[in-house]
Structure 1
């Protein structure tokens, strides 16, 4: 796959902090599905702890990067999914403030990529509101219930990009 058509899907989080593992769970779901419903050839599935430098390296030279991460909101609605797509003009600093449960991470990676001129051609972020970010394994019921839906939306974004329209549209 050429650099110009490279696609990467990144699950951000920590599977040992309950709902913070939703990004990893979506990647695991996509990997499991690949046996019967593979993503387009050359699509890379990765997991990351949210380190800005690692995120930048994972999406560098990608035509499309799709990121799935846990989010915190006030008031929280566990399992609610937010979708943000960045095309063309990079966002300014206020558009990249972190909603991640990691404190530092995705917002900082986007801003650093913007400053360095290394944003992917298209960046789609799925932020899933969580209920429990304490130490431990397993997703809360509302977050676990949205994993398949988010995996469907990610697969649709990738397929849409490959088909040449990549506009996405409203997702969960």
Structure 2
């Protein structure tokens, strides 16, 4: 579905590096049968390894792209959630950094240069505790998943309300 109103939620990470899989865990929860359907009707759900080209390809043409990723912060507080919103083609600075070599900032900058940014980009970055090889989230990060899922749902509802207001 292209054009105005297209919404995509992208879980970034690696489910085999413990807390780095938080983005995937959020998208998996959103995809569960029985999840409050009205909020997610027509919403694209995607998984990404964080490669800037694949991120850009997933959000290109969206009116709203929500990215969920693990982050490292110093000092850290595992499970703490940061919300960042792109303003005028730049991602607001945060004390949390992506857990990937090339970060989301690079993807945003490349998309800006190419003219392929979504109209709105919201990032939920969850501070991780354990990025060692293995499966399963640490307790603080697992406890944050439900909160992030709810915040993503509210973000989608708020965006759709704005779009309805503009088209009325």
TM-score scaled to structure 1, two decimals? 0.88
Q: Name the structure 1 match of 2:135.
A: 137
Distance across 1 between alignment mates of 2:101 and 2:155: 27
Task: Give runs of aligned pairs for residues 98-137 of structure 1, distance below 5 A.
Answer: 99-137=97-135
Q: Measure the CA separation in 2 of the matches of 1:97 and 1:36.
A: 32
**2:73 and 2:95 in contact (8 A); partners too:** no
Scaled by the length of structure 2, what TM-score is found?
Answer: 0.90
Per-residue deviation, 1:41: 2.4
Aligned twin of 1:4: 4
SS at match of 1:62: coil
Match of 1:37 in 2: 36
CA contact (8 A) 1:6 1:61 kept: yes
- Structure 1 unaligned spans of 5+: 167-172
Moved more, 38-47 or 157-166: 157-166
Task: Give distance in 1, aligned partners of 2:138 and 2:35.
Answer: 27
Q: Structure 2: 5+ residue runs without aligned partners?
A: none
1:82 corresponds in structure 2 to 82
Structure 1 position 91, deviation (Å): 1.4
Please identify runs of 4+ aligned residues in structure 1 that moved more than 6 A: none
Aligned counterpart, 2:47: 47
Q: Provide the residue aligned with 1:169 in structure 2.
A: none
CA deviation profile, 1:121-144 (whole Å, cap 9, x unmatched)? 000000000000110000000000
Aligned partners of 2:68 and 2:105: how far apart in 1? 13
In 1, distance between residues paired with 2:9 and 2:86? 15
Q: 1:36 to 1:134 in 2, by over 3 A?
A: closer
Write the distance in 1 (CA, Å) between the matches of 2:163 and 2:98: 28
- Name the count of aligned residue pairs: 163
Cα RMSD for the two superposed structures:
2.1
